[in-house]
Structure formats: structure tokens, C-alpha cells
Structure 1
């Protein structure tokens, strides 16, 4: 009897019962129903399985698994056994997501489930309600935010935001689409092919014809995609057939370039051609030069001759043919200077004499 009495006295000495019905542990003046002046211990459990059902003996549960998991809350009880006020603390110490699910039709703050993201936690408390009522309330230990392609609506994290970080998006079934965080789009493959290191859009249609279709209302059979000065592409014809209505003449005022008693090129003519777009151009010109034996020519540096006649007589005579045609390609639009040259120091007896007078015009006929 004495052996049991002493521990009981020691135990009772730590507990005070106040007349108000409050109970104090290590305090003689409890201010609450249960007032503990000291530490409190509760159940602590670690879980690493792909699913787990919370029980009546759980309080703090830490997840340390290697995959997404689902924690199931116990169904509420109506009447005897109702556990209104029961609390669960759940900590996610993994790189994966915990889904906390209520027993249908019960809800958590009106939702059938909530998510606990990596390195976050939540606390749940039973409201004691049953059925479709909000039988659990949750208090997140960390405020959830959504960014980089996600939107947050209450506890619902969903796609629909702006990608603000370098993000790779890859569909692996059939390798249909890949968008890299560096701004490269791959269609038909998620592997960058040889020679496409600097390309922003890559289309791999295998051996099937018709990998690209662009319809903007300007497309027609036989048209090609062309660009304006700002890089805006439209479809246009490769051939200009109405030559007679599209000829453009030279600009500037022609001067006689053959007045020096020396030969050579780079002679100033005072005229130029203004090419509006890249492509092939048909050029026609005519000039009358009366001279002893010499080669006379007009040309565009880096492009080619627009007119040339060769020595045909040792005595003064008109160079021939007077009227000539050329086909030249211009890779870029712009103003191109017409230069002249002659092979020796002979100064022609007459320049640009006769009828008609000098002419030089052009028309584009193919891109």
C-alpha cells in the first residue's frame, strides 16, 4: 500500500484543480480548461509510401517519400465517437506533392482535396460536421503561390499563367512537339537536327511532303514566300509578265565618262539604278559612241555589265551593237551606281550622238 501511495502523492502534487473546473499542470492558477506549464508531446510519425490513411493515433505526420502521394482523412462520425476538434499536422519534406483527400462527400474548406507542395506543411482540424458539409478546415503552414505558367485560385493550382523562367516543354508520345526554355520550337521531333543550332523553328516531317502550310489570302499556285524590308512575309509571283507596263528608268544625269586619255574602269557616269527588291532583272540600254578601235562598257560593280561594245574598226566608226539587253541578279534592294570603263586611252570622236538618245531601264521578272 505504501509503495503505491508515494507515486500517487507525487503525481497529484503536480496537478491543481481549480473551482472553475480548470485543470493546471505545474501551475496552481490554471487560466484555461487545461493549463500546462511545461512541454507537450504528441504522436510523431514518418511516412514514405505512395498512399496513407490517417488514423485516430496520428497527430504529426512527416512525408519523406520519393513519389507523389495521397493522404486519406478518416470519415466523420455522427453522434457517439464524433471527433470534432481532432487535429492533424502534415509536413512535406520531399520534392513531391501530397494530396490530402476527404472521404466523399465530405470536403476540406469546400474542396474534395488540397495539395501540400514540396517543403510545405498544413494543419487540419475536424469541424465535427458530416455529409457534404465542410468537415475539415485547413491552415497552410506556408502560403502557396503560383508562377511560371501556373495560376492559384484558392487551393486550386492550375495552368494558365505566364512562363517567366526558362522552361522546357516536351511531348514524348510520337515526339510531336518540343519548346525549349531558350526559345526554340521543334515540330515533329524533340532532337535538334544537324545544322539547326541557331534556328528558332524546326519542322521535321520525316519523308512526308508538305511540312509547312501558310495561308494568309495571298497564296496562289506557283507563288513563293517573299519578305518586305521589315521581314514581313507574303506570297508573291515569281514572274512578272507585263514588262511593257513596269519598266523603270535610270536616275541621275548622264555625263561623258570617256574624256580621259587613259584606259581603265571606275569612270563616273552620274547615273544609277534604284532596285526595289531582290531578284532577277531584265536590263536594256542603248548609247551611240563613235571612236577608233576601243572597248567601251557600262557596269555595276559586283553585279555585272549593263552595256559593252568591242573594237570593230581601226578607223573612226560607231561602236556596235548600240542597243543591248542584260539579265542581272540583285541579292538586296538599294541604289546601284553605274560605272564606265574603256580599254585604252582613245577618246571617242563623239559620245551619245544620234537618235534615239541614251537610255537605260529595267524590270524585275523573277525573285
Structure 2
């Protein structure tokens, strides 16, 4: 009898284009004046195909997961279907649309062939109803994790994954290839900056090739791709404190990994539509400012005198001078397509990771 009364009530409200449960005056197309339930499923297997009966999935597996989304273009079309996915494992989930379907992750990551959901993050996936291109749209949120910036404040000041264009992995989840761009890859080591005033980030050093300063040079753009593949990002140094720590613990001989060649840093020129070119950190971070300099306050940068100077109008990427060019390892701007500077190649890399 209760089901019949509810059906009659819903039918009467449908005549007016609005449906209410526990209310006779719905203000929206569908209004529920009370709690409601959707399915919850705990997943521990790394391989999983999402079902039509799924809604909220909680991954607690012990390895990287590969999950397959259903065919959204199938008949009937899945337009509007929602999946909520919580990743409480210590590993990534790689979500792949069916067949040739794609997924939109952000305004800079459209029509992607898959979506990486890092450990500790939560995502909502919604079917767009499109019959071509992106059939899914993703909304990514942190699940109680603070993504720290590189300014030594242990908070999210300035760091913007939408500017970087991808979400960095944890250092413990990095994937180091055996080779990249025809060069062997050797991870020389990793260290975490901890203690008072530290940002808690981990920095890893890599050698591309055999260490010969005259071979295996990589462009800034190659190095950016390498960083993304590993899971970190090209090191950013917006404060003297961070630069000094990296120089003493990563670059130096003895206390570091003896990185003597040219090294790219994540400070690059952006050509904004309708505006002049502007240098920016690839993570969107701001400089730490020295307010005691005269006549103007200055960022705590380490550029060589007169740099960056955009020589010939083609220099849009920045690097640390090789030890052979500058004992103090100051900075310079060059073309991002360069593979060397002063005949010393870009074959040593420092990557930064926000989380362990």
C-alpha cells in the first residue's frame, strides 16, 4: 500500500515538472527532504571493471591499480552517470575509458586516454553524454592532504597543479625508467629537506647517459616530459633557503651527488594571449622577497648579472650554470630547445616531489 501511495504522489508532482519526497512543495526538479543512500563498495583487487551497480568505490589495495570505465557511448548512453572514487591505498589508480573514449581532467588536460588518481585523493567521474571525444569528466579533490609549496612554509602557498598540468606522485611511488630519449637513466639518490624552515619535499638526482658532459643533452621540454614520466617535476627554487639546501645536499660533491653539468630549473617564459611574455615557476609558486634591498626589494633569485636577458629574443628557459662555467652555480636563461650551454650538456636532472 505504501508503494502505491508514493507512486500516486510522484505522479501528481510530475505533472508540474517537480518531484518531492517528504515535501509537498518541491522547489527543484527533484527534492529530497531527508537522507538518501547509494551503494558503497570496498575494492582491494588492482584490476577492476566498474559496473552499472557501482557508485562509491573505496580502493584499499596493495599495488598500483588499473580500472576500466564502462562504455559510455553504449546504448543506452550513460549520460549523467556518476562514480565517486576514494583512493585510500598507498598506490595510484589508473582509470581508463573504454575503447577510444577519452576523459577530461582539467582545462589543460582535455581528451586524455586515462586518468591517474593518486593515493590519498578523491575523484568524481561523470559521463558527459558525448558520442565523440571526452565521454567522461573528472573532478579531483584532495582527501585531507595538504600539498605543500616550495617556499618553506609547509602549506599550499602558490603551488598549482593546474599550472603544472599534472598531479605529481609521491616520491615513494616514482617510476624511474631504465632509459629516456635514447639515454640510460641512473637515479643517483634522493633526500628529503626536513627540519625547521624546511618544506618537507624530497629531491632526487638523475644522470642521463654515462656522465660525459659532452653527450646525451636534453632540452627543457624533454626534461619536463621526463619529470612527468617519473612522477615529480623539474626542481623549483623560489627562495634562498631552498636553493642553498639543494646546492649543498644534491648538487655538491661529497655532501651531494656531484652534479657538475648544466641543470634545468622550472622557471620558464609563458606567452600569455594578448600580453607580453612572462617568466613563471612551472608550479605557479611565488618568489620569496628580500625586503631589505635598496632601492627596490628583490626576489631571492640567483641569476648571473644581467640575466635573464632574452638574448636574440629566443631565450625562454632557465638553468643552473655548470660548475665549469660558474663555480658559484648561478643561473642563466637560454633557449628551451638547447641541449647544452658553453658546450656542457644538460644531462643531469634534479626532480622535486611534494610528498614522500
TM-score (norm 1): 0.40
TM-score (norm 2): 0.42
Larger relative helix fraction:
2
Larger radius of gyration: 1
Larger relative strand fraction:
1
Q: Which of the pair has the greater relative contact order for Cα pairs under 8 Å at 6+ separation?
A: 2
